[in-house]
Amino acid sequence: MTRFLAVTRAELLILRRNRWLLVATLIMVLFALALTFAGSAPTGTLGVDMLTVSVASMTTLSVYLAPLLALMIAFDAIAGDVDRGSLALLLSYPAGRGEILLGKFTAHLAALAFAMTVGFGTAGALAAWFGGAGSESLVALCRLILTSILLGAVFLALGYLLSACAGGSTAAAGMSAGLWLIFVVLYDLGLLGAVVMDQSGTFTRSVFPWVMVANPADAFRLWNIAATEGVAMASGMTGAAQALPVWAAPASLLIWPVLALLLARAAFRRVEP
């Protein structure tokens, strides 16, 4: 039972030693701070506190950064061991493949959670200090941090899936970049195109919100926006959020990590080192 924790311990040592943890945390802090202070201009006009605006800006940031950081650790998780030739040795031990995957996932998620909490926490604390914060905006900050970790979990698991399928580190890196581009950029562009073509027809009113929430990155955005009125106002994105039941976005973001982990587990089972 404690075998996956042995893998977790080793993976955490690796993340700390190759400075991934330091760099990821620094990136999070810097970007969150920059967005918080650059995006604080509309505070007066909207009549919300600075932390609310900061959370809205950081939500947009996290959509891009959380998947990127997660894929950056995950792509090498299986393919790296295949390249080094150490996977065969690892698998000759009594620990099962599920335990190895779980051990890596636990370590990577902990590292991601650390970077998110420190990054958004620092920016949020500073925004609250300078521009004030209410109980609602504090809840929004906590929600942002937790949903960012969930979003990271989705892309960690998708990264393992690619890493198991790719057969090599270089291919896995390339496929991860493609995956990021599809989920974070191209998917939304495609939807936007469809909506423009449809001109407020049935697709826009009934299908579009569901297709949108099926993408974990959009579900993350919708969850954070729909939950807080202030954030929704500050981000100017309320239409899609209102067309869906409240549970849609949380359900999507909670189902995705489980689904992706199961897929990664199935792909890992088929890897012959």
Partner 1 sequence: MSDMTLTLKSVCKSRGKLCVLDDVDLSLAPGERVALLGHNGAGKSTLIKCVLGLTSFAGGAIHIDGARPGSADARRNTAYLPEAVSFHPALTGREQLSLFAQLSGAGGDVPGLLDRVGLDDAMDRRIGAYSKGMRQRLGLAQVLLGRPKLALLDEPTSGLDPISRQDLYAIIDELAGQGTAVLIASHALTEVEARTDRIAILRKGVMVADDTLANLSDLAGLPIRLRVRARENPEALAAHLGGNRVNGAAVEMLCSPADKMQALRRIAAMGEAVVDLEMTPPRLEDLYRHYAKEALQ
Nearer to partner 1, 91 or 177 (CB): 91
Nearest distance from residue 84's CB to partner 1, in Å? 4
Residue among 27, 90, 194, 214 that touches partner 1 (CB under 8 A)? 90
Nearer to partner 1, 44 or 94 (CB): 94
Nearer to partner 1, 82 or 161 (CB): 82
Nearest distance from residue 9's CB to partner 1, in Å? 8
Residue among 23, 89, 207, 262 that touches partner 1 (CB under 8 A)? 89
Q: Does 18 bind partner 1 (CB under 8 A)?
A: yes
Nearer to partner 1, 86 or 238 (CB): 86
Q: Does 95 bind partner 1 (CB under 8 A)?
A: yes
Q: Does 270 bind partner 1 (CB under 8 A)?
A: no
CA-CA distance, 104 to 161, in Å (whole number)?
Answer: 13
Nearest distance from residue 110's CB to partner 1, in Å? 17
The pair phi, psi for residue 136, each rounded to 5°, is: -65, -40
Q: If binding means CB under 8 A, how many residues of this protein chain bind partner 1?
A: 24
Q: Does 84 bind partner 1 (CB under 8 A)?
A: yes
Q: Residue 260 to residues 3, 23, 28, 154, 162: CA-CA distances in angstroms? A: 22, 26, 25, 7, 10
The angle at the Cα of 138, spanning 225 to 237, to the nearest 5 degrees, equals 15
The pair phi, psi for residue 228, each rounded to 5°, is: -125, 125
CA-CA distance, 115 to 141, in Å (whole number)?
Answer: 15
Q: Does 9 bind partner 1 (CB under 8 A)?
A: yes
- The H or E element spanning position 170 is helix 169-180
Nearer to partner 1, 96 or 190 (CB): 96
Structure-derived torsion over alpha carbons of residues 212, 190, 202, 236, reported in degrees to the nearest 10: 60
Task: Tell me if residue 48 falls in helix, strand or coil.
Answer: coil
Span between the terminal Cα atoms of the chain, in Å = 24
> Residues in the site for partner 1, rule: CB under 8 A?
2-3, 6-7, 9-10, 13-14, 17-18, 80, 84-86, 88-95, 272-273
